[in-house]
């Protein structure tokens, strides 16, 4: 009689990686819906393009590496595609999402050995690449409208840039010497629709994020730390010069912050791995974002902050190890060299 | 009476809530399994040393009779679990993953059940502790919670150090298992007696019993039994929230006392002693009722058995018998797990006995506990970290284990992992994390052992080298002293002779008659030198062969190689020396034979006679010593290679056979010496008292030396067979072996001392 031989444990809770990824996909739906509502089906077109280019690129690499295509079922390429798609403006030319999706998968992920091996967040790597290479195409959003009744998005797809609008942070950057009050009152800079649109989108991401926390896909500490850092550091900078610095609420409402807090920073692969490390990771990202927004030359800095902190993640891991049961204190740093 | 405490505020890090699946077995009453027809009682059911059998095949034994005993701290006695006849004492597979076989006593049931009971200690309150410990030892008690550590040793350690807190582990956190639950429901009184006994023995300041809140019946039964047991004021029952692994010793200690067992330390370092409820009930049975450990409660559960429940089983019953009794549905089977789903292990066969360690047999169907899916890459989600009760970073450990960066794994406290499986249970990528940790631990242990062995081998080699040099120096000094003495003697005798020749011409003829004898002795000496040369050339060849073998063997370590090379060099050296001696002797022989100088001959001839015998002695000694050394060294090699292959063992046997051959040769030489020793007394009537006695004495010494070395060889041989028996020689066995070798060496030195004495005379 042949018995099956297996190592313990013989029991497993039924959550698998593809299920985790599926939950993430579900959590992005409110955000996607809101984006589409305000900026038109261009968002969906972008998503279709990024997702298909991600899946195709992954399939291609798997073929080249002689790996089974079933790996695609882990849904991670799908998630990467969605995350890039959500960052791109609705009116961007078709080749931008295709390029972004392929770059994320090929350079951001598979070049390093696939799922679990990539040191950088693939979506952010791709976004940063696009931002540096095509700053114009990637920064111009169509003016928000009450879509589905409006056909202006068709024009934007056709390449007309007549109906573009600046995002809040862009507008702020371009306000020049205007005082804050004047800025808000001035018409040409930032439409109130734009503000409403982005605030709604941010809330939609928040809903999705809370869903993830509820489903225990992500922990609450990381997003909270990030948003809190943004708010506190933002207030601090703003306190010095309220008339020229971004008000803290705008730091949070500018769509990228909430989205990043729940969907980008929480990428487990490229972040710090221990809980304590994650908290430091979030603080670091928050401070970098504020610095870039305040002193940098890019209006938004989430992508760069995340990538920079990805660099720091291994060091964070070494210095934030928990105190193991029975140890007087936590060990820090690298293994002492004389041991090896 | 102390109130039952509900501990909800103290926590250990992490923990998980796997489905409990306890009701299948806990709702059933305890069933007694019919007596089996045959039991197999392994002599090593516990960790540590094998017990030594006290019975023989064919002997009739009663239930409870002591079959095998041990006095070693890590050993435990074995008792007959049924009445019958011993049909075999042989290697039988143990219920282990490896399917390892160890010696076991097999009893065939015969006749009516007769119990062999030991005197009861009804007044155990007054019995001295030593006596109680002795009984605990002879009852074969071991920890029944899983560690299977001999109870006596654990208690003796606690007695010596003194304890503050006695913890009784009734948590039974592992899913499916309800053996302890069942015990508490059916025999709460025995458990309380056991606790009382421990209180009497150890005098702890506090006694805490930890039980998970998923066992209300057991708790109730305990609470009912408590009044009148005498423990009302001492025993603090603490109810813990159900969370795996709260029954892990370290986690339970943290929950109950808030303290943490220091890394690498024992609970005893905190003045804490933990015992499992099953062990305590067995303790009460053994001490108070005189019943040794011959049965235990085993949970049989899983959807592949139709009658899950708890069974009272005699130790040694085949697991297959047990499965059949529980309505094992053969075609639904897939896995046979000994223990629970979290930490249990699958058995390769059901034809193994129930041992003291067996608390649960789990036969899940595939729907019940699905087989793990394919391992996916780690996404570093950190769930494992959140679940780990040891607060490790399982994902980092996994990374280092998978990439074989063992020093980093150790730095991340790999050895603080208790292999609870919580991390693997939560891992969404279904990585068999615990398997990686076991592998890494094994590798690290191996590396450490190898390093230690290499160091020991180096020390041994140096010691040997040093001894060799010292001996050479001593010999040289003695030789010189002897030469001086001989010269003096020769001078004196010459003087005497000169005086004698003048007075009695008769002596002349005497000396002439002794001359052919001298020549005969010289040829004999030549022969012996030739033998020595042959022996050492054989040694050289052997060493060369050994080296070649080692080089051919793929898994030879560099240390082994260098050792073997050293051996070869030494053997070559010996050969050279032998050849040199031979050449010298041959050169010296001819002129000596040709020279008819009557005056000188007798004077040199007579002192040469004992010298000759001494050389014989030396040859004999050297040959056997070489043989012994070789056996010894190969054994070392065998030890060094933890996994000695059958070829290596065969080689070793071959070598031993050769060593024996050499021993025989020595014996032959000895016989020759004896034969030639006889005429000696007649040949030298010049020294009527000294000469006849001299060879006889030397012969005796030769015999002693031979006997001693023979014993050494035999011992080495025995040790080897021991090593062969145990495929993976345990540290204890190696220790034993080393002890034996040390003895052999001692004997060798004794033989050498005697030889030296002979040389001096
Ligand atoms: S739970 Fe599994 S996938 Fe997640 S970090 Fe741990 S090992 Fe990696
Ligand atoms: S098996 Fe080891 S690493 Fe995993 S949870 Fe248990 S103690 Fe932690």
Which of B478, B498, B518 is the last residue before a domain boundary? B498
**DSSP one-letter string for A197-240:** HHHHHHHHHHHHHHHHHHTTSS-SHHHHHHHHHHHHHHHHHHHH
**Omega prior to A9 cis, within 30 of 0:** yes
Nearest ligand to the C-alpha atom of residue B393:
2
Query: Rounded distance, CA A82 to CA B165, Å?
Result: 58
The string of DSSP codes covering A85-105 is HHHS-TTS-THHHHHHHHHII
Task: Judge whether B340 and B20 are in contact, CB under 8 Å.
Answer: no
* Smallest-distance ligand from the CA of A76: 1
- The verdict on a CB contact (< 8 Å) between A3 and B377 is no
Is residue B351 domain-shared with residue B399, that is, in the same domain? Answer: no
Structural domain count of chain B: 3
Residue B449 in any domain: the answer is yes
At B82, give phi and psi (nearest 5°): -140, 170
Does residue B165 share a domain with residue B261? yes
Q: Please indicate, yes or no, whether residues B467 and B338 belong to a single structural domain of this protein.
A: no
Note the pLDDT of residue A76. Answer: 83
* Structure confidence at residue B668 (pLDDT): 63
Task: State the pLDDT confidence band at B347, using cuts at 50, 70 and 90.
Answer: confident
CA–centroid distance, B424 to ligand 1, in Å, is 8
DSSP alpha helix (H) spans, B427-505: 433-503
The closest alpha carbon to B167, from B261, B92, B249, B89, belongs to B249
* Cα radius of gyration (chain B): 35
Asked if the C-beta of A215 comes within 8 angstroms of chain B's C-beta atoms, the answer is no
- Give the range among A241-255, B120-134, B535-549, B591-605 with minimum mean pLDDT: B591-605
pLDDT at B561 (0 to 100): 61
Look at B345-354, B451-460, B630-639 and tell me which has the smallest mean pLDDT.
B630-639
Which alpha helices (DSSP H) does chain A contain, by range?
Answer: 17-39, 42-64, 76-87, 95-103, 122-133, 135-139, 152-157, 168-173, 180-185, 192-214, 221-240, 248-253, 256-259, 275-295, 302-319
Please state the rounded mean pLDDT for residues B519-548. 69
The pLDDT-based confidence of B114 (bands split at 50, 70, 90) is: confident
Task: Determine, yes or no, domain membership for B520.
Answer: no
Whether B546 and chain A come into contact, CB under 8 Å, resolves to no
- Looking at residue B274, its pLDDT comes to 92
Q: What is the CATH number of the domain that holds B353?
A: 3.40.50.11540
Q: What is the mean pLDDT of residues B47-64?
A: 84
Amino acid A225: pLDDT:
92
Query: Would the pLDDT of B680 be above 50?
Result: no
Residue A339: CB atoms within 10 A of its CB come to 9
Q: Kindly list the protein residues whose Cβ atom lies closer than 6 A to any atom of ligand 2.
A: B 387-390, 392, 394, 417-423, 433-434, 437
**How far, in Å, CA of A275 to CA of B593, rounded?**
95
The lowest-confidence range among B17-26, B65-74, B340-349, B355-364 is: B65-74
The pLDDT of B704-717, averaged and rounded, is 63
Per-residue confidence (pLDDT) for residue A199, from 0 to 100: 82
Residue B638 has pLDDT above 50, yes or no: yes
Q: How remote is the CA of residue A251 from the centroid of ligand 2, in Å? A: 41
User: Residue B546: which pLDDT band, with cuts at 50, 70 and 90?
Assistant: low
pLDDT at residue B277, as a whole number: 92
With respect to residue B595, please indicate whether it lies within any of the assigned structural domains.
no
Does B236 lie in the same domain as B323? yes
Report the candidate in A76, A27, A26 with the shortest Cα–Cα distance to residue B377.
A76
Q: Quick one: pLDDT at residue A148? A: 46
For residues B287 and B650, the model is more confident at B287
**A32-52: average pLDDT:** 88
HSE-CB for B582 with a 13 A CA cutoff: 17
**Model pLDDT, residue B195:** 92
Q: With an 8 Å Cβ cutoff, are B348 and A335 in contact?
A: no
Distance CA B352, CA B317 (A): 8
> Which of A253-257, B238-242, B416-420 bottoms out in mean pLDDT, i.e. has the lowest?
A253-257
Q: Compute the average pLDDT of residues B557-585.
A: 69
Query: How big is the CA angle at B634 (ends B633 and B638), to the nearest 5 degrees?
Result: 120
DSSP B570-617: HHHHHHHHHHHHHHHHHHHHHHHHH---TTHHHHHHHHHHHHHHHHHH
Is B192 within a domain? Answer: yes
Question: Which ligand 1 atom is the nearest neighbour of the CA of B380?
Answer: 5
The arithmetic mean of pLDDT across residues B634-645, rounded, is 55
B165 plus B234 within the same structural domain: yes
Check residue B85 and give its pLDDT.
92
B87-114 exposure pattern, b = at least 16 Cβ within 10 A, e = fewer: eebeebbbbbeeeebbbbbbbebeeeee
Q: Are residues B218 and B140 in the same domain?
A: yes
Least confident of A178-187, B227-236, B257-266, B586-595: B586-595
Domain match, B337 and B208 both = yes
CA of A128 to the centre of ligand 1 (A): 28
d(CA A148, CA B684): 134
Using the mean position of ligand 1's atoms as its centre, give its distance from the Cα of residue A17 in Å: 9
For residue B561, count other CB atoms closer than 10 A to its CB: 14
Dihedral sign, CA of B323, B329, B335, B339? negative
**What is the pLDDT confidence band of residue B183, given thresholds at 50, 70 and 90?**
very high
Boundary-marking domain end, from B446, B471, B498: B498
Write out the residue range of the structural domain in which residue B757 sits: 691-761
**Arithmetic mean of pLDDT over chain B:** 77
Cis peptide before B245 (omega within 30 of 0): yes
C-alpha–C-alpha distance, residues A252 and B5, integer Å: 48
Structure confidence by residue, pLDDT tens digits, A174-219? 655 556 666 666 555 556 677 777 888 888 999 999 999 988 888 8
Q: What is the model's pLDDT at position B499? A: 67
Both B259 and B167 in one domain: the answer is yes
Domain positions in chain A are 16-165
SS3 B88: strand
Strand partners, B209: B168, B237
Chain B (421-480) residues lying within 8 Å, Cβ to Cβ, of chain A:
421, 424-426, 428-430, 432, 434-435, 438
Distance CA B726, CA A42 (A): 73
- Which candidate from A116, A273, A331 shows the least CB-CB separation from B411? A331
Position B248 pLDDT exceeds 70:
yes
- Residue B448 domain flag: yes
Residues B217 and B259 in one domain: yes
CA distance linking residue B624 with residue B662, whole number of Å = 6
A11/B262 touch (CB, cutoff 8 Å), yes or no:
no
Contact A325 B390 (CB under 8 A): yes
Asked if A322 reaches chain B (Cβ–Cβ under 8 Å), the answer is yes
Q: Is residue B418 part of a domain?
A: yes
pLDDT for A241 beyond 60: yes
Which residues of chain B neighbour A327 with C-beta distances below 8 Å? Answer: 262-263, 413, 416
Query: Taking CB atoms and an 8 Å limit, are A336 and B411 in contact across chains?
Result: yes
- Averaged confidence pLDDT in chain A: 78
**A-contacting residues in B 260-279 (Cβ below 8 Å):** 260-265
Is the pLDDT confidence value at B164 over 80?
yes
Flag whether B155 is in a domain: yes
Q: How far is the CA of B12 from the centre of ligand 2 (A)?
A: 13
The answer to whether A213 and A219 have CB atoms below 8 angstroms apart is yes
Domain-embedded: residue B338: yes
How many other CB atoms sit within 10 Å of the CB of residue B547? 18
């Amino acid at each position: 009689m042949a018995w099956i031989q297996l190592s313990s444990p013989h029991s497993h809770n039924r959550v698998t990686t593809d299920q985790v990824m599926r939950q993430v996909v579900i959590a992005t739906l409110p955000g996607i819906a809101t984006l589409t509502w305000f900026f038109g089906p261009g968002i969906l077109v972008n998503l279709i393009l990024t997702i298909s280019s991600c899946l195709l690129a992954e399939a291609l690499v798997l073929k080249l590496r002689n790996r089974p295509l079933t790996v695609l079922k882990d849904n991670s390429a799908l998630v990467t595609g969605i995350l890039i798609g959500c960052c791109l403006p609705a009116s961007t030319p078709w080749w931008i999402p295709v390029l972004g999706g392929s770059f994320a998968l090929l350079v951001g992920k598979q070049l390093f050995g696939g799922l679990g091996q990539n040191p950088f967040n693939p979506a952010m790597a791709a976004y940063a690449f696009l931002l540096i290479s095509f700053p114009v195409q990637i920064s111009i959003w169509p003016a928000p409208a009450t879509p589905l009744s409006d056909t202006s998005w068709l024009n934007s797809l056709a390449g007309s840039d007549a109906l573009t609008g600046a995002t809040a942070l862009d507008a702020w950057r371009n306000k020049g010497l205007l005082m804050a009050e004047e800025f808000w009152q001035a018409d040409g800079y930032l439409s109130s629709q734009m503000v409403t649109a982005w605030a709604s989108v941010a809330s939609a991401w928040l809903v999705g994020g809370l869903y993830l926390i509820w489903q225990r896909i992500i922990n609450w500490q990381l997003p909270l730390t990030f948003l809190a850092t943004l708010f506190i550091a933002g207030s601090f900078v703003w306190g010095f010069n309220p008339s020229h610095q971004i008000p803290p609420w705008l730091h949070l409402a500018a769509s990228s912050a909430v989205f990043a807090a729940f969907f980008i920073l929480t990428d487990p692969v490229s972040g710090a791995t221990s809980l304590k490390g994650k908290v430091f990771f979030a603080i670091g990202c928050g401070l970098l974002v504020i610095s870039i927004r305040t002193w940098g030359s890019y209006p938004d800095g989430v992508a760069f902050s995340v990538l920079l902190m990805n660099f720091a993640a291994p060091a964070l891991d070494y210095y934030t190890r928990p105190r193991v049961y029975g140890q007087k204190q936590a060990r820090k740093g690298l293994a002492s060299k004389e041991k090896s | 009476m102390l109130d039952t405490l509900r501990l909800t505020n103290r926590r250990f890090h992490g923990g998980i809530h796997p489905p409990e699946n306890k009701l299948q077995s806990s709702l059933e009453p305890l069933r007694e399994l019919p007596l089996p027809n045959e039991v197999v009682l392994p002599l090593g059911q516990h960790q540590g040393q094998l017990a030594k059998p006290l019975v023989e095949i064919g002997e009739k034994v009663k239930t409870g009779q002591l079959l095998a005993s041990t006095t070693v701290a890590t050993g435990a006695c074995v008792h007959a679990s049924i009445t019958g006849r011993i049909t075999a004492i042989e290697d039988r597979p143990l219920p282990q993953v490896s399917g390892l076989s160890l010696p076991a006593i097999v009893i065939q049931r015969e006749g009516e059940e007769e119990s062999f009971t030991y005197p009861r200690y009804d007044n155990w309150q007054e019995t001295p502790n030593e006596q109680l410990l002795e009984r605990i030892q002879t009852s074969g008690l071991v920890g029944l919670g899983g560690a299977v550590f001999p109870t006596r040793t654990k208690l003796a350690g606690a007695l010596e150090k003194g304890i503050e807190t006695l913890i009784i582990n009734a948590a039974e956190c592992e899913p499916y298992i309800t053996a302890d639950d069942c015990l508490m429901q059916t025999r709460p009184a025995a458990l309380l007696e056991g606790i009382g006994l421990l209180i009497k023995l150890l005098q702890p300041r506090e006694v805490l019993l930890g039980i998970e809140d998923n066992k209300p019946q057991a708790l109730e039964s305990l609470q009912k039994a408590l009044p009148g047991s005498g423990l009302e004021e001492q025993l603090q029952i603490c109810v813990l929230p159900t969370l795996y692994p709260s029954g892990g010793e370290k986690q339970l200690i943290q929950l109950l006392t808030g303290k943490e067992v220091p890394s690498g330390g024992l609970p005893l370092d905190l003045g804490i002693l933990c015992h499992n409820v099953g062990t305590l009930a067995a303790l009460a049975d053994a001490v108070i009722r005189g019943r040794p450990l011959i049965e235990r409660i085993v949970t049989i559960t899983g959807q592949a058995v139709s009658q899950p429940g708890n069974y009272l089983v005699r130790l040694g019953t085949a697991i297959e018998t047990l499965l059949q009794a529980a309505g094992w549905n053969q075609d639904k089977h897939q896995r046979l797990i000994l223990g629970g789903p979290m930490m249990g292990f699958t058995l390769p066969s059901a034809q193994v006995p129930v041992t003291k360690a067996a608390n649960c047999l789990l036969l899940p169907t595939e729907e019940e506990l699905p087989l793990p899916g394919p391992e996916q890459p780690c996404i570093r989600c950190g769930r494992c970290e959140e679940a780990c009760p040891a607060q490790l970073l399982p994902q980092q450990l996994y990374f280092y284990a998978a990439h074989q960066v063992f020093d980093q794994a150790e730095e991340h406290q790999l050895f603080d992992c208790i292999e609870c499986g919580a991390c693997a249970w939560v891992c969404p990528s279904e990585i068999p994390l615990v398997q990686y940790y076991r592998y890494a631990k094994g590798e690290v242990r191996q590396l450490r052992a190898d390093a230690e062995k290499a160091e020991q081998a180096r020390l041994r080699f140096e010691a040997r080298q040093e001894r060799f040099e010292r001996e050479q120096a001593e010999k040289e000094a003695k030789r010189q002293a002897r030469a001086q003495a001989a010269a003096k003697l020769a001078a004196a005798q010459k003087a005497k002779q000169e005086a004698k020749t003048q007075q009695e011409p008769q002596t002349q003829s005497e000396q002439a008659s002794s001359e052919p004898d001298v020549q005969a002795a010289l040829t004999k000496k030549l022969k012996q030198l030739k033998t020595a040369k042959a022996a050492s050339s054989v040694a050289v060849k052997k060493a060369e062969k050994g080296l070649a073998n080692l080089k051919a063997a793929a898994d030879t370590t560099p240390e082994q190689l260098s050792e073997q090379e050293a051996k070869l060099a030494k053997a070559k050296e010996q050969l050279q020396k032998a050849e040199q001696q031979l050449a010298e002797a041959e050169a010296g022989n001819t002129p000596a034979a040709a020279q008819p100088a009557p005056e000188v001959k007798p004077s040199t001839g007579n002192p040469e006679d004992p010298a000759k015998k001494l050389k014989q002695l030396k040859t004999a000694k050297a040959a056997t010593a070489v043989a012994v050394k070789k056996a010894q060294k190969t054994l070392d090699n065998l030890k060094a290679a933890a996994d000695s292959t059958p070829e290596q063992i065969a080689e070793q046997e071959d070598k031993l056979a050769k060593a024996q051959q050499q021993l025989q040769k020595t014996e032959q030489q000895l016989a020759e010496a004896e034969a030639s020793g006889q005429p000696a007394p007649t040949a030298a009537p010049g020294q009527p008292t000294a000469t006849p006695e001299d060879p006889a004495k030397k012969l005796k010494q030769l015999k002693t030396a031979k006997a001693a070395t023979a014993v050494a060889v035999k011992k080495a041989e025995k040790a080897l067979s021991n090593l062969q028996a145990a495929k993976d020689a345990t540290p204890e066995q190696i220790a034993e072996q080393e002890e034996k070798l040390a003895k052999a060496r001692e004997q060798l030195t004794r033989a050498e001392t005697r030889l030296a004495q002979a040389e001096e005379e």
